[in-house]
Structure 1
Amino acid sequence: MKYAFIAIMVCIVAGCNQNNVNVDDSLGKHFKAHNVTGTFGLLDNGKAEFTVYNLSRFRDSAYLPASTFKIVNSLIGIETGRIVDENMVIPWDGQQREIQNWNQDLNMTQAFKFSSVPYYQEVARRIGKDTMQRWLDSLGYASRYSRAEIKTVDNFWLDNSIKITADEQLGLVKKLYFDELPFQKRTTRIVKEAMVMEKNSNYILAYKTGLGNTENGNALGWIVGWIEENKHPYFFAMNVEGPADTEMVKVRMDILKKTLDQLGFLKGNM
């Protein structure tokens, strides 16, 4: 049986109809404040309501997944035993890199939270090209416009050789949350736990970021995941694009937090 990520296409996955889709152009001010473009979509799963800024980009434009692919890389790695568990350490190769958190031995949870490219490149090499390709084909990952075909097993998510839309990303995290992917529950549990970045009395915020460059040289940032308030999940996907010198790490998080705040989140009232 072939499992496929069904792109939400304006939240068809959740059973929304046209009346349940809210195109909110006011969210654009958070992007414009940083002189960047992008899109944001959020699905209220309980009410099957979808709020989106820049619908055409959300639905129809595909970009390299960058480090958001660590979600899938982790799932495949754990399922195939290449990642034994969240505590599995891959020793540092001794190569000094600009991101200091990468310059040490890391376990999976640390590598996920630090978004360590070297760790996950080694995981991909251990999985192997053929096995990785079979899983991508089975999942239908990044296949909205063409097959996600691997060229180099430890770099294909970074070099623009595969591309994914924001609604495919949202569909992925929604299926992950509800254990609707073709992985064992242990596998999905480990990855879901790794995605939790903030947890307090008001909310749980779980996500994976991504950072890369588009084919035209622009900086691209992703944040995909969910926010849970009062045990109710809301799924989101956001990408941001700007000039190559954009401070994307700061910009993307500022946009996410201000967007969520505008929509009423982060206070525990949803």
Structure 2
Amino acid sequence: MKKTFKEKISLLIGATILLTSFSSWATEDIKLSSIFNKYKVNGTLVISSANGKTTYIHNEKRANKAFLPASTFKIPNTLIGLQEGAIKEINHLFKWDGKDKGWKIWNQNHTLKSALQNSCIWCYQEVAQDVGRLKYQQHLYKMNYGNQKLGELITFWLDGDLRITAYQEIAFLKKLYAEALPYKKEYQRKTKEIMINEHTPTYTIYGKTGWVMKEGKGTDIGWFVGFVTTKNTAWFYAINIDLIKSSDRHYRKKIVKEALKAKSII
């Protein structure tokens, strides 16, 4: 049977993912650096081809530095919730209890898609309570996610001991894209589906943002991780930046999109 492009690239990723060592050949990319300089933003960006043979990087040292994943953890958390039954398949509904959750968009019922896209903390805290600490630890080991350390059950991805680098985010995303994680393929497909940020006739951007409050010496960190598919290729990206002021959060997606255009990916 003739394989589709997606099947071919999934096989390619699966065959190369354990052999890939991004930092062994990545060098500072002038175009990416110029974008960061233009916006006066401190951070890192890694963009990697499906087979890992081409990697564009700004600030490799920081790309190897681990931070809390914040809401980027909602990607693996969705898989865990589906696998454990804490999320009831694709039709799951998170029911709001009528109490103020701290942000207007959270004060309502949420579908799985809206919970992920709106970074609904209380929704995924319900998942955490249902899954439990022991099973979370097992899942972190199973998917080889970050440093695999926990903390307080319902906040460990926000202020616990869990840490992950930009390179590790991409390695995880490549497995998800190839549906090579140790979870049902239907769960991996559903997780990817709700990650769609932008769909056009020529490309689709999948991704999840994250906002770490007061990491390290008191600087907020902003994440945006995911992948982009075009007619005949797939690329993976992970950015984290210092958020000096609230409006800096917009640079996460802005820089990624400009970088993808600068490298003629989209």
TM norm structure 1: 0.86
Larger deviation, residues 182-191 vs 26-35: 26-35
* Superposition deviation, residue 97 in structure 1: 3.8
Could you give the per-residue CA deviations for residues 179-230 of structure 1, whole angstroms, max 9, x where no partner exists? 1110011110110111111111010100111111213221211111111111
**Equivalent residues of 2:48, 2:56 under 8 A apart:** yes
SS at match of 1:205: strand
Gaps of 5+ in 2: 1-15
**Equivalent residues of 1:46, 1:232 under 8 A apart:** no
**Equivalent residues of 1:36, 1:240 under 8 A apart:** yes
Change (3 A) 1:72 1:17: closer
Partner of 1:7: none
Could you give the per-residue CA deviations for residues 62-100 of structure 1, whole angstroms, max 9, x where no partner exists? 000000000111001001111111220111122224432
Gaps of 5+ in 1: 1-10
Count of residues in correspondence between the two structures: 251
Partner of 2:125: 121
Could you give the per-residue CA deviations for residues 13-43 of structure 1, whole angstroms, max 9, x where no partner exists? 4657989634303312322333321111111
Partner of 1:48: 53
Q: Distance in 2 between matches of 1:172 and 1:47?
A: 13
> What is the aligned-residue identity percentage?
31
Cα-Cα RMSD: 2.2
Partner of 2:106: 102
Partner of 2:256: 256
SS at match of 2:241: strand
Question: What pairs up with 1:212-223 in 2 under 5 angstroms?
Answer: 212-213=212-213, 214-223=215-224
AA partner of residue 111 (structure 1): A
Change (3 A) 1:174 1:165: same
Q: Distance in 2 between matches of 1:20 and 1:201?
A: 33
Could you give the per-residue CA deviations for residues 83-135 of structure 1, whole angstroms, max 9, x where no partner exists? 11122011112222443221100011110111111111111111111111111
Question: What pairs up with 1:179-218 in 2 under 5 angstroms?
Answer: 179-213=179-213, 214-218=215-219
**Equivalent residues of 1:38, 1:241 under 8 A apart:** yes
AA partner of residue 33 (structure 2): G
Question: What pairs up with 1:133-144 in 2 under 5 angstroms?
Answer: 133-143=137-147
